Homo-oligomer: A and B are copies of this chain.
């Protein structure tokens, strides 16, 4: 059973972070799952992911001071494994963990994911808690020097320590029992800690050992380009930037990152541009708002993510989504780009313009995306030589966002693109 065989397109789903921060509840998760099953599933959307600190009792209660409360109370079983906070996830009471919630999501025809932090709870190490099926205690596998720079909950494990793999195995055994389909592991992707590279491999082995297929997603970025082989061998998704939000500068920078990683996209291997901050965002951060991205910028984002074949994870609250946004996310012609039969490459990039091309090896479709990175509407000429073609004249193209079809009458393809906007052609 190969983990890579799991996905034949990049994972598509919803993640609780952009709207709820640390404070999402079971009711919220169920509501978003129900929305997805009803409105989005048919277009390929399927993952529902509970993001950070589902185990933290006080998560979000001192948000003016802390995103993550230092030394806050957490739920943990007798084997040093974190459990959902029962106040926020009532179906977990009685030792059921996330199983009832996962079952419900599976009944909706969807898949269930959770966020974890690299390592083992600090409190487990300081209280010398047990590790399942071993004589080892948590202090013996915890590295007191391996901490996350932005979250205070965990110590990294010592990869060489006896019992360290056993701990990760015990954790993923529990997740398999719960029915988890997707793991987003944080504090690991950019390898801030010296042991992070080894811990990525240990997570992979723990998934194999669990007997259940789970997508392994690594955060936060930027991932290290020189570690591409390691990500490709042991994980399914890895973040290529730090947290992405509704800010044009971050979106513009993604073009450089996508250039860097374009040769590393293949079936089961998806460099990750991060969540799509669309619709209603930021409630848990004390900053509830409609996305700050213009419609043009959102089209640019979706075009790039789909061309590049990034995983697609919706960040906004689904139950508050307007129709324009839902249409943006459910354009079948655009989502077809995600197929593992498509291979995309950047053709050109400077400060004003970026051009990508993709080709579907089965049905022979060419896709051409033209991005206007400047703030003003401009006419952009695409010379045919850029695609190793003789001429655009007489070629019939369909613009996939408007649905318009036309035949080019000039050698160059000359198009007007609004500021920060994109056009996406199939021919």
Q: Which residues of A contact B (CB under 8 A)?
A: 2, 70-71, 122-123, 125-128, 139, 142-145, 147, 149-150, 152, 225-226, 228-229, 259-260, 262-264, 346, 388
Contacts of A123 in B (CB 8 A): 126
Besides the contacts A70-B144, A144-B147, what 13 more A-B pairs have beta carbons closer than 8 Å?
A70-B125, A70-B143, A71-B126, A71-B128, A71-B144, A122-B144, A126-B127, A145-B149, A145-B150, A228-B260, A229-B259, A229-B260, A263-B264
Q: A122-B126, A126-B122, A145-B152 are in contact. Are A139 and B70 (CB under 8 A)?
A: yes
Contacts of A229 in B (CB 8 A): 259-260, 262, 346
Contacts of A139 in B (CB 8 A): 70-71
Contacts of A125 in B (CB 8 A): 70-71
A127 → B minimal CB distance (Å): 8
Contacts of A260 in B (CB 8 A): 225-226, 228-229
A213 → B minimal CB distance (Å): 16
The answer to whether B145 and A147 have CB atoms under 8 Å apart is: yes
A85 → B minimal CB distance (Å): 19
Contacts of A150 in B (CB 8 A): 145
Contacts of A2 in B (CB 8 A): 388
Complex partner residue of A126 from B126, B149, B225, B388, CB under 8 angstroms: B126
Which residue from chain B places its CB closest to the CB of A146 in the assembled complex?
B147
Q: A126-B123, A225-B225 are in contact. Are A70 and B263 (CB under 8 A)?
A: no
Task: Count chain B CB atoms within 10 A of each CB in A123, A260, A264 and give the residue with the most.
Answer: A260
A58 → B minimal CB distance (Å): 12
Complex partner residue of A142 from B71, B144, B262, B263, CB under 8 angstroms: B71
Bound: A2/B139 CA distance, A: 44
Task: Count chain B CB atoms within 10 A of each CB in A128, A144, A228, A388 and give the residue with the most.
Answer: A144
Which residue from chain B places its CB closest to the CB of A265 in the assembled complex?
B263
Contacts of A226 in B (CB 8 A): 225, 260
Of all A-B residue pairs in the complex, the 6 with the closest CB atoms, nearest first, are A144-B152, A71-B139, A263-B263, A70-B144, A126-B126, A225-B225
A130 → B minimal CB distance (Å): 14
A112 → B minimal CB distance (Å): 28
Bound: A122/B126 CA distance, A: 9
Contacts of A225 in B (CB 8 A): 225-226, 260
A21 → B minimal CB distance (Å): 19
